[in-house]
């Protein structure tokens, strides 16, 4: 219902105030991107000879770089696009492709590989050969976003089939695949992972965000088909994931993409996370980093502006206009150039935001999102603006132009045959790295759909509350400092380390709402919490396994927070 309302509304929005350059690009590039994407899917894709049925190659490029493999992440994002287009009625020709994908994933899941067997971690394997055998070379493994993204795509498909009363297929064919992936997510989300760029081994915002979505959707599907034995454990882990997700926010007003990596942390990782967990029903919810949330917009501005000085093709472009963006500003892979899929992700996040603002008939400017909105109207103030106000009209028109400007950049650097590679040159915009990148084509299709106001199905982001007490956005508040607690603690399977203590931000000593630490650097458990500055604070670590709670021995631990800046406390469990 909401979906229909938003969609019909946006068809109206589409009539005014959009760039005609982008209109023209969308109409020529849409069919070319669709054809480019389908060419890379076996068994009959014209550029994917050798790929078995339902197998998506990342790119036909087989040297420098060799992408003639199938990645679980790329394949899932491509099929999320295909499944959304089919289930929303935008392209009714895709059903057999989806059936083939399901068949291929049922096989791939069972293939033993260097990450393990299906029961010992093999689901975290990032890529396979295109004949569905294991890739055994060295690689950044495991990558734990793959099972989450695959189950998100398959659950979207399952939910659609349930509306067609095809419960038998959902229960017998899709559910076993989904359950494998989600048990893996529930059991392993707090273990370290390579990020989506396959470089940093730590915890990663994108991975955490898509894992959170996957378990929420999994619980809904489990209830819908009466597979309720998983509900309690998946719900608990979804709550832990949502809590952990908040910890990536930093006091400089953006999301640090990875807990490791030693970079600025400004990364398309975080923008992709918002668009791939977009749920219009959740409005501009900050807890789930919805596209139009103040945290996502503040983060977006920081991310985009990080690329203005690193690519010469961006020089001279005004701050209220779009630029070429890449994975992260420090990137040097294949020359470290802008990527189509990251530039388009910026546009998509903004189109999603416009859709929600228009549907809800208002937009909010908070102290956190003020710098973002000031780019478009330097006189704007914190407040809520109804769609009847001039401020709303001015801001949304300017943001529409800003979003379109990112697509215009992509259009400018797309060759006339419509081909989209992985990268385009930071000095002259020519195509670089892998040719015909399947994910680039998918990103064009989803950005174009978002521009037309298409809203993907809800996944349950609406009305969630945080159970862990870390407040998003509030992190930058006056008088707080970011304190990192590291504790060396050996645990057994099932046990996790939490912290609580003498102030609100440490849950006032309540072990039932204690804050979960990350084990990404096990045996060091870690968390960063915003605590009152210049304050004596007592705390203890707590070891929790189900309902069993073990406190550290007495006396309480104590720190005095600094007046400003950050603070790191290194402890050993006692």
Interface segment toward ligand NOJ; rule CB under 6 A; list 44-52, 197-205, 353-361, 494-502: 197-205
Per-residue H/E/C for 301-332: HHHHHCCCCCCHHHCCCCCCCCCCCCCCCCCC
- Closest Cα partner for 37 from 87, 101, 89, 88? 101
Q: Report the SS3 class of residue 462.
A: coil
**∠ at Cα 536 (531, 540), nearest 5°?**
75
Q: How far is CA 146 from CA 184, 238, 284, 300, in A?
A: 10, 17, 26, 24
**∠ at Cα 490 (484, 494), nearest 5°?**
95
Q: Select which of 145, 195, 267, 404 is catalytic.
A: 195
Tell me, by CB under 6 A, how many residues bind ligand NOJ: 11
Least Å from the CB of residue 303 to ligand NOJ: 16
Residues between 397 and 426 with contacts to ligand NOJ, criterion CB under 6 A: none
- Is residue 448 within the footprint of ligand NOJ (CB under 6 A)? no
Between 7 and 71, CB nearer to ligand NOJ: 71
Between 198 and 521, CB nearer to ligand NOJ: 198
Candidates 74, 97, 132, 145; binder of ligand NOJ (CB under 6 A) is 74
Least Å from the CB of residue 568 to ligand NOJ: 28
Separation of alpha carbons 422 and 60, rounded Å: 12
- Closest Cα partner for 355 from 443, 455, 445, 270? 455
Least Å from the CB of residue 296 to ligand NOJ: 21
Candidates 7, 25, 71, 525; binder of ligand NOJ (CB under 6 A) is 71
Least Å from the CB of residue 126 to ligand NOJ: 7
**Rounded to 10 degrees, what is the CA torsion of 265, 271, 272, 273?**
80
Rounded to the nearest angstrom, the gap between the alpha carbon of residue 146 and the centroid of all alpha carbons in its chain is 12
- Closest Cα partner for 541 from 494, 491, 501, 484? 501
Candidates 10, 58, 200, 323; binder of ligand NOJ (CB under 6 A) is 58
Between 79 and 439, CB nearer to ligand NOJ: 439
Interface segment toward ligand NOJ; rule CB under 6 A; list 67-75, 106-114, 277-285, 344-352: 67-75
Separation of alpha carbons 456 and 2, rounded Å: 11
Least Å from the CB of residue 118 to ligand NOJ: 21
Separation of alpha carbons 81 and 72, rounded Å: 14
- Report which DSSP code applies to 357: H
Least Å from the CB of residue 172 to ligand NOJ: 31
Q: Residue 50 CB: number of other CB atoms within 10 A?
A: 12
Site string for ligand NOJ, 198-227 (x = CB under 6 A): xx----------------------------
Between 122 and 475, CB nearer to ligand NOJ: 122
Between 276 and 543, CB nearer to ligand NOJ: 276
Q: Please answer whether residues 236 and 215 qualify as being in contact, where contact means their C-beta atoms are separated by less than 8 angstroms.
A: no
Under 8 Å CB-to-CB from 138, ≥6 apart: which residues? none
Candidates 39, 224, 251, 333; binder of ligand NOJ (CB under 6 A) is 333
Interface segment toward ligand NOJ; rule CB under 6 A; list 15-23, 34-42, 66-74, 178-186: 66-74
Least Å from the CB of residue 548 to ligand NOJ: 40
Interface segment toward ligand NOJ; rule CB under 6 A; list 146-154, 190-198, 362-370, 530-538: 190-198
Is 195 an active-site residue? yes
The residues that are catalytic are: 195, 198
Contact residues: ligand NOJ, CB under 6 A: 58, 67, 71, 73-74, 196-199, 333, 439
């Amino acid at each position: 219902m909401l979906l229909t309302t938003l969609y019909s509304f946006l068809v109206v929005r589409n009539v005014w105030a959009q760039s005609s350059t982008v209109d023209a690009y969308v109409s020529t590039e849409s069919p070319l991107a669709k054809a480019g994407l389908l060419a890379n899917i076996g068994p009959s894709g014209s550029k994917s000879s050798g790929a078995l049925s339902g197998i998506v190659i990342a790119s036909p490029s087989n040297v420098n770089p060799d992408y003639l493999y199938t990645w679980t992440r790329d394949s899932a994002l491509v099929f999320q696009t295909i499944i959304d287009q089919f289930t929303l009625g935008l392209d009714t020709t895709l059903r057999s492709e989806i059936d083939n994908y399901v068949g291929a994933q049922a096989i791939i899941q069972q293939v033993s590989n260097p990450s393990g067997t299906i029961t010992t971690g093999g689901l975290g394997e990032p890529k396979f050969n295109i004949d569905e055998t294991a890739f055994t070379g060295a690689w950044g493994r495991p990558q734990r976003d793959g099972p989450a993204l695959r189950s998100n795509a398959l659950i979207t498909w399952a939910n659609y089939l349930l509306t067609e009363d095809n419960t038998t297929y959902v229960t017998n064919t899709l559910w076993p695949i989904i359950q494998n992936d989600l048990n893996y997510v529930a059991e392993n989300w707090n273990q370290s992972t390579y990020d989506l760029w396959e470089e940093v081994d730590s915890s990663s915002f994108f991975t955490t965000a898509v894992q959170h979505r996957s378990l929420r959707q999994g619980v809904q599907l489990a209830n819908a088909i009466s597979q309720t034995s998983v509900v309690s454990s998946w719900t608990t882990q979804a709550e832990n994931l949502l809590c952990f997700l908040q910890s990536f926010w930093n006091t400089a007003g953006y999301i640090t993409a990875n807990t490791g990596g030693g970079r600025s942390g400004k990364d398309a990782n975080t923008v992709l996370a918002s668009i791939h967990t977009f749920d219009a029903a959740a409005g501009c919810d900050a807890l789930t980093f919805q596209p139009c949330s103040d945290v996502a917009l503040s983060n977006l501005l920081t991310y985009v502006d990080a690329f203005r000085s690193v690519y010469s093709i961006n020089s001279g472009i005004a701050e209220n206009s779009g630029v070429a963006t890449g994975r992260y500003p420090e990137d040097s892979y294949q020359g470290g150039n802008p990527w189509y899929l990251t530039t388009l992700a910026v546009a998509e996040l903004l189109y999603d935001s416009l859709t929600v603002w228009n549907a809800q008939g208002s937009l909010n400017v908070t102290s956190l999102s003020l710098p973002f909105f000031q780019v478009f109207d330097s006189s704007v103030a914190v407040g809520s603006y109804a769609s009847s106000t001039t401020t709303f009209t001015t801001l949304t028109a300017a943001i529409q132009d800003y979003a379109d400007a990112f697509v215009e950049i992509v259009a400018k650097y797309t060759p006339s045959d419509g081909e989209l590679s992985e990268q385009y040159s930071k000095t002259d915009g020519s195509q670089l790295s892998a040719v015909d990148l399947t994910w680039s084509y998918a990103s064009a299709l989803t950005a174009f759909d978002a521009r037309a106001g298409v809203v993907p199905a809800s996944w349950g982001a609406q009305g969630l509350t945080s159970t862990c007490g870390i407040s998003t956005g509030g992190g930058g508040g006056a008088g707080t400092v970011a304190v990192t607690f590291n504790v060396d603690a050996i645990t057994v399977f099932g046990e996790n380390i939490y912290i609580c203590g003498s102030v609100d931000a440490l849950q006032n000593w309540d072990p039932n709402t204690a804050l979960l630490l990350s084990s990404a650097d096990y045996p060091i458990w870690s968390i960063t919490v915003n605590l009152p500055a210049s304050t004596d604070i007592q705390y203890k670590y707590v070891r929790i396994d189900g309902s069993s709670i073990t406190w550290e021995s007495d006396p309480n631990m104590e720190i005095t927070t600094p007046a400003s800046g950050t603070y790191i406390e290194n402890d050993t469990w006692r």
